[in-house]
Chain A
Amino acid sequence: GQNIDQPTEMTATEGAIVQINCTYQTSGFNGLFWYQQHAGEAPTFLSYNVLDGLEEKGRFSSFLSRSKGYSYLLLKELQMKDSASYLCAVRDGDYKLSFGAGTTVTVRA
């Protein structure tokens, strides 16, 4: 099966930066995704990495190292509305998405 690990919880202050790490071991690799999910809602797409390196999109950036099986999501200038669960998901060799358990980020004033 697939193995995707990310921290359970993180807390940060409004305006700060938080980095959420994700490590994975999958059967084949066809891209890594980060999703944001608020309680009781469906996930919304944040970023997609298929090649090594950093992808920047506004306040959110995502990094991938395929050789290390490692990614991180960087959230800058944190806002209260960023309090949510952040899901790391890997698309395997069969093009199926496997999700990590999610990291709950709490932003404090």
Chain B
Amino acid sequence: GAVVSQHPSRVICKSGTSVKIECRSLDFQATTMFWYRQFPKQSLMLMATSNEGSKATYEQGVEKDKFLINHASLTLSTLTVTSAHPEDSSFYICSAEDPGQGGDEQYFGPGTRLTVT
């Protein structure tokens, strides 16, 4: 099946700094990628839809100036958490659909655990 990678897997940063998370589709091209956030013992919440070559679409309540998304190529999307605060500590997961497989299934990356101190 299709493989999606994320980097880093874990990151600890100080309050006020910015953190960049990369999401890559390794063996397929993804025009659309998705970014989710999951707090402990809660389900995944869609943050934004990342579209290659155009602006991301953010879900209601997600600050686009705080969570910067760049989808510069068909295999890479990045999420930058700017001026991170402890309440941004969460598990961030990206996913992508493989058009070559019919696009029905979203393939998830392994996730990035962000801890802001």
Contact = CB atoms under 8 A, between A and B. Distances in A.
Interface of A: 31, 33, 35, 40-45, 48, 50, 87, 96-102
Contacts, number: 41
A31 B44 contact: no
B49 interface: yes
A35 B106 CA distance: 10
Interface of B: 1, 34, 42-46, 49, 91, 93, 104-111, 113
Q: Most chain-B Cβ atoms within 10 A of its Cβ — which of A40, A43, A100?
A: A43
A97 B49 CA distance: 11
B43 A100 contact: yes
A48 B104 contact: yes
B42 A101 contact: yes
Contacts of B42: 101
A48 B113 CA distance: 28
A97 B46 contact: yes
